[in-house]
Structure 1
Amino acid sequence: MKIGREEEMMSLEENKGLMSSQENKELSKKEAKELKKEQKRLEKAEKKQNKTKMEPAKKKKIIRRSILGGVAGVIILFILISSISAANAKPIVYTAQVTRGDIEQTLSTSGTVTAGEVKTYFAPVSVKIGKVGVTAGETVSKGEAVITYEEAALADEKKTAELKLKANDGNLNNYMQKNNESLGDLGEARVNLEVLEQQITDIDNYIKELQRKVDDKKAALAYEGSLLQISIIDWSDKMDSDEYENLQKLAELNRYEQTNNAEIRAWQDEISKYTEMLNNCKEYKAEMKSQKSSSENTKLTAGGKDEVEANAEMQNISMQRTLDSIIEVEGGVLAEFSGVVTEMNVVEGETPVVGSTLFKLESTEDVKVTIPVTKYDLEKLSIGQKAVVTIAGNKYDGEVSKIDKMATKNQSGAAVVNADIKILNPDESIFLGVEAKIAIHTAKAQQVLLAPGNAVNTDVEGEFVYVIENGLVIRKAVQTGISSGMNVEITEGLAEGDEIVTETTPGMTEGMAVTAIPEQ
């Protein structure tokens, strides 16, 4: 009997111990209530056994049932607590701290090595080719003769050009001597006619303005006289009044002014003077027109002066250009810079047509890499940014030298903008047309707040991170700056040491209790 009671008491104590554990603290009110009911039932059974005397067999049976019931209750409670604990377990999240340090943003891409300077050489003269020094694909140095002309043929062409230039100059000088006198008269007439045209226009406008003043003044006096006559009629029944006499005097004075007004007379005198001046200008203009016509008719040609001068000048330009070109290639067609001859279009003994293509030279001193830039990287790029160019395992210093102002379509149909990376230290190991890897240093910041790039999220409201505070998930809006491969600069929203979630889960919400585990 004692043993059964002790065992039942032990079950009761175990239940109480379970209730005091950390897991029982997380039970809901309903579950706690069920546990309390079970405890009260056991306590009542114990009291009943103490008060009632039973037969030994019956007591054993009751004790056995109590022990079995207690054990079953413990098992049930254990299962219930385990289920509730599993259901209320905190989700695990991985975190990192906001740190302070340096960050550099790099844009990595690839492109094709091309010459920054390309020149196509055209035949300046139609002279027989003497020697072709290189073939397509070979390199030449600056100042090296790529093509030479046959010396005798080039000398003949030079002499012909000199004679043509001299003959053209002689013809023009002869024409100018015969026309000197006519040119003097013609120049005088042209200048005077231009001045006379303006003078005639100005005088005519001034006369019209004076006449307008005379007409306006006469009209004003006539209107004033009409008003006076109306007033006289109104006072005609009071002819003896002072007012009537005054009106009569004013009317008389008005009539005098209409025919003898000083301003009108002055304007009319001025009109007469400027009318005479206008007539003189018109007569002089007629004389200048006659002189102009006469000087034009006395020229050696019937009005072909401008054409002759233009033709003579064009011939001079053409002959001088031919002569200069001949002189320039007397030592051969020279490479203006060191590079690769990528096209050769003539052979020895050929006489090329003037303007036809001789060869194409692409520089190995001015070298660039052209890269396609997407709209996502375009805002990071600017002229002058430094870059590292890798060609066939060799690294070179580079610089962004050009960004196109229009987009093109790449092979995938996406819009890209081409940019040029100038190689600052090219050498003989560079090959045109090969692929090069580019790493552009687009931005750099020192001692700024840094966070892992995968911790920053974006939605319609902007950028944000999840911060762990007192075991709870807190959403914080942030502003970011530049980013590297791993980290991103935080310019606003976080402080150094903040613990942030590096990997979010679909069910993560603000206010959620979690278990934070720092990333290794």
Structure 2
Amino acid sequence: MKKKKSKKKLVIGVGILVVAVVAGVNIYGSMNAADSAIPQVKTVSAVRDNVQQTVEISGTVVSEEQKTYFSPVNAKVDTAALKEGETVKAGTSLIEFDQKDLEREAKKADLNVESGKLDMKNTLNKSDKAVQKQQNAAGDAASLKQQVAAQENYIASLKARISQANANAQAASSKAAAKKQADAAAAQKAQQQEIQREYAQAQTTYQNETLPAYQNQLNTLNNEMNQAQSDYNQAENSYQMAFQAWSADQSDNNENALEIAEQMRSEAQITYQNAKTAYEDYKAQKPAAPVMSDFTGEADIVSDGTSADVSASASSSTDDTAVTADTTALENELEKASNNLAELQSELSSKEAAAEADTGAVTEEEKEKMEITNNLSELDQMSAQELVEAAKKGIKADFNGVVTKVSVVEGATATQGMELFTLQNTDKVDVNVNVSKYDYDKVKEGQSADITIAGKTYEGEVTSISHVATQNEKGASLISADIRIKNPDEDIFLGVDAKVTIHAEEADNVVVLPSEVVNIGKEGSFCYVLENGVITKKDITTGISSDEYVEVLDGIKEGDEVIRDLGSLEEGMQAEAADRSGDVNGENTETDNAEEGI
């Protein structure tokens, strides 16, 4: 198979054929001079030159950038200064909105925020008062517990004094009692004294050691709880500030800061809950004050080995001589002290009930919920204000371009997100072309190009090449590419056809042959040369090619003579090179003249 040649080169072949026929006639006419003549063939020399490969293709002018504008607000369109096909300049106001309804919504959002803040402040104030009341009741209860314990101790001492007075009176009136009775009475007195001593010692230990130690530890836990609550409040404030910063600018830095603040807040909240639990648990473990009943009971004193002997002896020896002391004053004091104790215990029960009752105080969860509600109101407020600002700004063209689609008219009510119009950039313009399978390997990003639109030429550059082929209606594979127009002007219209010449690869100072002498077969490229007067086929390796020349990488070297056209001759036949003295640039002048005349 031979490579398709240009019309001009095909005409050259016809000229050679005519020459060959004439030569045949001459040979036939001169057979008396010789039996046969060696045919002559025209040759061309392989030379060094530059080869510029180009790809000629057509395409469609398209915009490199397109933007569809949507309504940022729910508002009436006051002005819509645009229509399809018209050009606009960057910064031109294209859409203006009515702002009355948006301003009304913004004012409503402001009032909602203020109302939410006042509601939260009022609720927290009531909660703080309830908590303070409960804390006061708890403090009063603690004080009352001490008073009750002291009153109980006082009553116990009165009872002991009455008992002691009676015992003394009985002892004074029992001088005649038996020694066993006296010993029993003495033992009983000693026992009572020991009880009083142990009770007094227990009271001292409770007042001086047990209760102060408990109160100190309780105060420590209370301080830790208060500190933990303060740390949590501070962490909560930090979180709210981080949340507001993130809401205003949802950047990666603000998002990271928000996550850190939220983690610190959670840790502070856990610390506070643990401290509060420790305080309340320890508070419930308050040690009870000692009472006389803990030290009194049946006498363990024995005279003959058992307590029953003492009881029986005392009974038998005092039945007839029992004497009681005058303890009227002590009895009256005991009754009064008992009444006071009952009042203290009643008041203590009331305070404890108040301290343990549910005050209805705001929990941390409720407080957080109120803050979230207020934050949402503030976000609504910000959104409403932003919508007002967006309506004031209207919509302006972001770049010089052509309006290609209009979906809104003046007086219509636009909804947020509604499509308004589409604008295509006229400062960033490409020619979209489809490259055939024979040329796509020649086209590379960054190559320069000449673009012709309506007779005007622009500079271009290949900016992108698709890596997915498409098929045309005939099933041929095509590769899409974009050629950017470097110097677009007002004479360019989107959607029109354009002719593109892509300047592909270039090879300088390489061995080249005219395109018409290079043939292409199933096994590759080849040409014909004369070797020792015989027509010989030469396999060659080609590089890039232009319309006129082909780069030869191997098989032919500079200066080699290559047959232009075999005509009716074949490989293996004898031939000789024609005289090239009349050639101009390697071509026969007469043949060229003949071509021009055809």
TM-score range, shorter chain: 0.5 to 0.7
| 1:373 matched to 2:435 | yes
* Secondary structure in 2 matching 1:376: coil
**Corresponding position of 2:50:** 102
Whether contact under 8 Å (1:124, 1:322) holds in the other structure is no
Determine the structure 2 residue equivalent to 1:469.
Answer: 531
Q: Give the superposition deviation at 1:501.
A: 2.3
Native 8 Å contact 2:95 2:395 kept in 1: yes
| Separation in structure 1 between the aligned mates of residue 270 and residue 482 of structure 2, nearest angstrom | 57
Residue 136 (str. 1) matches residue 84 (str. 2)? yes
Deviation at 1:519, TM superposition (A): 3.4
Distance 2:64 2:120 in 1: 46
Cα distance, 1:188 vs. partner?
5.2
Aligned equivalent of 2:558 = 496
For 2:587, the equivalent position in structure 1 comes to 519
Which shifted more, 118-127 or 369-378?
369-378
Distance 1:154 1:427, change over 3 A: farther
Q: TM-score, normalised on structure 2?
A: 0.49
1:346 equivalent to 2:408? Answer yes
Q: Distance in 2 between matches of 1:167 and 1:421?
A: 61
Q: Which amino acid aligns with 1:513?
A: Q
Q: Kindly indicate whether the alpha-carbon contact (under 8 Å) linking 1:128 and 1:153 is maintained by their aligned counterparts in 2.
A: no
Structure having the higher Rg: 2
Contact 2:109–2:380 (CA under 8 A) maintained in structure 1:
no
Call closer, same or farther: CA 1:323–1:413 in 2, change over 3 Å. Answer: farther
Q: Which runs of 5+ in 2 are unaligned?
A: 1-27, 128-228, 237-263, 274-361, 579-585, 589-598
Is 1:390 equivalent to 2:442 in the alignment?
Answer: no
Kindly state the Cα deviation for residue 375 of structure 1 after the two structures are TM-superposed.
2.3
**Aligned position for 2:544:** 482
- Partner secondary structure for residue 392 of structure 2: coil
Relative to 1, partners in 2 of residues 1:435 and 1:186: Cα closer, same or farther, differing over 3 Å?
closer
1:333 alignment partner in structure 2: 395
TM-score under structure 1 length normalisation: 0.56
Q: How does 1:64-79 map to 2 (within 5 A)?
A: none
Q: Distance in 1 between matches of 2:379 and 2:471?
A: 45
Local SS of the residue matching 2:438: helix
| Cα distance, 1:409 vs structure 2 | 1.5
Return the alpha-carbon distance in structure 1 between the equivalents of residues 86 and 67 of structure 2: 15
Q: Given that residues 390 and 396 in structure 1 are in contact (C-alpha distance below 8 angstroms), is that contact kept between their aligned partners in structure 2?
A: yes
CA RMSD of aligned residues (A): 3.9
Equivalent-residue separation in structure 2 for 1:344 and 1:395 (angstroms): 32
**CA deviation vs aligned residue, 1:64-115 (integer Å, no higher than 9, x gap):** xxxxxxxxxxxxxx99957995xx5555544322122222111110100000
**Structure with the larger RCO, 1 or 2 (CA within 8 Å, 6+ apart):** 2
Counterpart residue type for residue 519 of structure 1: E
Match of 1:146 in 2: 94
In the other structure, the counterpart of 2:510 is 448
Partner of residue 75, structure 2: 127
After TM superposition, give the deviation of residue 404 of structure 1 in Å. Answer: 1.1
Cα distance between partner residues in 1 of 2:556 and 2:52? 20
Post-superposition offset of 1:134: 1.8
Amino acid at match of 2:428: D
Question: Structure 1 residues 166, 298: CA separation in 2 closer, same or farther (over 3 Å shift)?
Answer: closer
Displacement of 1:329: 4.2
Distance in 2, Cα, partners of 1:172 & 1:91: 114
The SS at the match of 1:497 is coil
Cα offset, 1:418, TM superposition: 0.6
Q: Which residue of 2 aligns with 1:424?
A: 486
**For structure 1, which runs of at least 5 residues remain unmatched after alignment?**
1-77, 194-296
Distance 1:350 1:186 in 2: 50
Counterpart secondary structure, 1:431: coil
How many residue pairs match? The answer is 334
Q: 1:137 to 1:165 in 2, by over 3 A?
A: farther
Distance, in Å, in 2 between the alignment partners of 1:443 and 1:117 is: 29
Distance 1:502 1:79, change over 3 A: closer
Distance 1:383 1:170 in 2: 65
SS at match of 2:491: coil
Write the distance in 2 (CA, Å) between the matches of 1:130 and 1:82: 105
**Contact 1:113 1:367 survives alignment (8 Å):** yes
For 1:135, what is the secondary structure of its paired residue?
A: coil
One-letter amino acid of the structure 2 residue matched with residue 437 of structure 1: K
Q: In the TM superposition, what whole-angstrom CA distance separates every residue of 1:499-519 from its partner, at most 9, and x where no partner exists?
A: 11233568622x321244563
Name the amino acid aligned to 1:136.
Answer: E
**Do the aligned partners of residues 107 and 129 (structure 1) sit closer, same or farther apart at CA in structure 2, a change above 3 Å counting?**
same
DSSP-derived class of the 1:379 partner: helix
SS of structure 2 residue aligned to 1:346: coil
Aligned to 2:163: none
SS of match in other structure, 2:44: strand
Once residues 109 and 392 of structure 2 are traced to their aligned partners in structure 1, the CA distance between those partners, rounded to angstroms, is 14
Q: In structure 1, what residue type is equivalent to 2:85?
A: G
Distance 1:451 1:170 in 2: 93
Structure 1 match to 2:310: none
Contact 2:73 2:391 (C-alpha < 8 Å) held by counterparts:
no
Q: List per-residue Cα deviations over 1:411-452 (Å, max 9, x = no partner).
A: 322121110001110000000000000001111222221111
Change (3 A) 1:479 1:152: same
Check whether the contact 1:128–1:350 (CA below 8 A) recurs between aligned residues.
yes
Distance in 2 of aligned mates of 1:402 and 1:487: 28
The equivalent of 2:165 in structure 1 is: none
- One-letter code of the match for 1:187? E
SS in 1 for 2:393: coil
Q: Is 1:300 paired with 2:365?
A: yes
Distance 2:551 2:269 in 1: 80
Q: C-alpha distance in 1, partners of 2:71/2:494?
A: 26
| CA-to-aligned-CA distance 1:133-155 (integer Å, 9 cap, x gap) | 12111010000011111243454
SS in 2 for 1:300: helix
Question: Take 1:353 and 1:384, find their aligned partners in 2: how far apart are those partners?
Answer: 44
Q: Distance in 2 between matches of 1:174 and 1:83?
A: 135
Matches within 5 A, 1:12-91: 85=35, 90=38
Identity, % of aligned pairs? 36
- Please state whether the residue corresponding to 2:442 is helix, strand or coil: coil
- Give the equivalent residue in structure 2 for 1:221: none
Contact 1:367 1:423 in 2 (8 A): yes
Q: Which amino acid aligns with 2:75?
A: V
C-alpha distance in 1, partners of 2:51/2:41? 26
- SS at structure 2 position matched to 1:384: coil
What is aligned with 1:438?
Answer: 500
Three-state SS of the structure 1 residue aligned to 2:553 is strand
